[in-house]
Amino acid sequence: MTKALLGGSDLSISPIGIGAWAMGGAGYKFAWGAQSDDDSIAAIHRALDAGINWIDTAAVYGLGHSEEVVGKALRQTSHRPYVFTKCERVWNADGEISKSLKAESIRREVEASLSRLQIETIDLYQIHWPEPEEDVEEGWSTLAELKAEGKVRNIGVCNFNVDQLKRAEAIAPVTSLQPPYSMLRRGIEAEILPYCESRGIGVIGYSPMASGLLTGSMSVERAAKLPADDWRSRSEEFQEPKLSRNLKVAAKLGEIGARHGRSAGETAIAWTLRLSSVTAAIVGIRTPAQADGVVGALEFRLSADEISEVEAVLS
C-alpha cells in the first residue's frame, strides 16, 4: 500500500479513510437510520487492523454521537489513527441544526469535539460548509489561530469552490479540501481539482460509492424499503428515473471488480483514485463486514482499459 502526504502537512495517509457519518445513528435530519455502536466500533477496529490510518467524522454527525463513538473506539485499540473532524454546523437543545463561522462558536465547537473524542489535538480540523458565506474569512482566521495555539495540527475545508479557496488562502494555507466525488458526481474535475493540484492542496473525496448506490448491494427493492429516518429515502438518486441508471453503472463495476476478486464498491473507490490530484477517499462503514468489503481498495487500481469501460457506461 502506498501512502501519500496530505497537502502541505506531515500526515502520510492511506489511500482510503474511515468515514464515520452513518455512525452518528438516528434522530437528526441527515441521519442514516439507527446504528449499532458496537458494530461501528468493531468496524473501525477491523479497518485499522487492515492498514487504514485515518478517520473522518464531524461534530454534527449524530449531533455529537459519531465523535463519541470514534473516541470510544480509539480508547479500545493500540492503533492511533489520524483523526479528522469538522466545525460550522451547530445545533440547539431541540436538535435544530444551524450554521455558524463566528469565532466564538468555532472555539466552543473545537473544545466540545476534543472532549467527545477524548484526544488532546485534532490532526485535521475542517470547515464543514462555507456557510454563512459572508463569514468565511472569520471562520478560517479562527482555524488558523487554533492551529497556532496547538489545538489542531492542520486545517482544511469541505465543499469550497475555487473562489472560496482563494479567499481562505489569502489568510492562511489550506491543507486540504474535502469535496463529494464519485462517478455520479464529477463536478470538481473541471476547475477544482486542477486548482488544488496547482496549489498543493490535498483532496480527500467523500462518498466515492455514492452513499451506497455503487456498492453492488443496492437494488430497486432495497431502495424502496429505505426507512424514513434514512436521508437516502428522500434522495433523487435513489428514485426513478435515476435509480435504474445508477444501478446499471454499479453492475458494470461489479463485473470489472469480479475479474480481480474485488467488489463493485472497491472498483468505485479505485475509479476515484485514478487521478493524481485526488489524495485519498473517505469510505463510510458501519459494520466489520462493510470494512472487509472495501479494504481491498487500499491497493486495487484500474487499468486504462477498465477506466475506458466505465466511461463508456457513464456516457
Residue ranges for the chain with pLDDT beneath 50: none
> Which residues, listed in sequence order, are joined to residue 284 by a DSSP beta bridge?
19
Architecture (CATH level 2) of domain 14-314: Alpha-Beta Barrel (3.20)
pTM, full prediction: 0.93
What is the model's pLDDT at position 267?
A: 96
Annotated catalytic residue 61: yes
What is the model's pLDDT at position 222?
A: 85
Residue 252 grid cell: 458494470
Strands 155-158 and 124-127: parallel
What is the model's pLDDT at position 215?
A: 85
Q: What is the rounded CA–CA span in Å between residue 202 and residue 277?
A: 8
Q: Residues 107-141: pLDDT tens digits?
A: 999 999 999 999 999 999 999 999 999 999 999 99
Residues in the chain, overall count? 315
What is the model's pLDDT at position 177?
A: 98
Q: Which entry of 28, 61, 125, 206 is annotated as an active-site residue?
A: 61
Q: 3-class SS at 95?
A: coil
Q: What is the rounded CA–CA span in Å between residue 5 and residue 42?
A: 27
CA distances from residue 188 to 142, 183, 203, 270, 278 in whole angstroms, order as listed: 26, 11, 10, 17, 11
What is the model's pLDDT at position 183?
A: 92
User: Domain-by-domain residue ranges, the chain?
Assistant: 14-314
CA distances from residue 277 to 16, 196, 283 in whole angstroms, order as listed: 14, 7, 18
Instruction: Tell which residue, 213, 184, 223, has the closest CA to residue 284.
Output: 213
What is the model's pLDDT at position 225?
A: 84
What is the model's pLDDT at position 207?
A: 93
What is the model's pLDDT at position 8?
A: 97
Q: What is the rounded CA–CA span in Å between residue 137 and residue 265?
A: 37
What is the model's pLDDT at position 89?
A: 98
Q: Residues 264-298: pLDDT tens digits?
A: 999 999 999 999 999 999 999 999 999 999 999 99
CB within 8 A of 252, min separation 6: which ones?
309, 310, 313
What is the model's pLDDT at position 227?
A: 85
Residue 110 grid cell: 473545537
What is the model's pLDDT at position 28?
A: 86
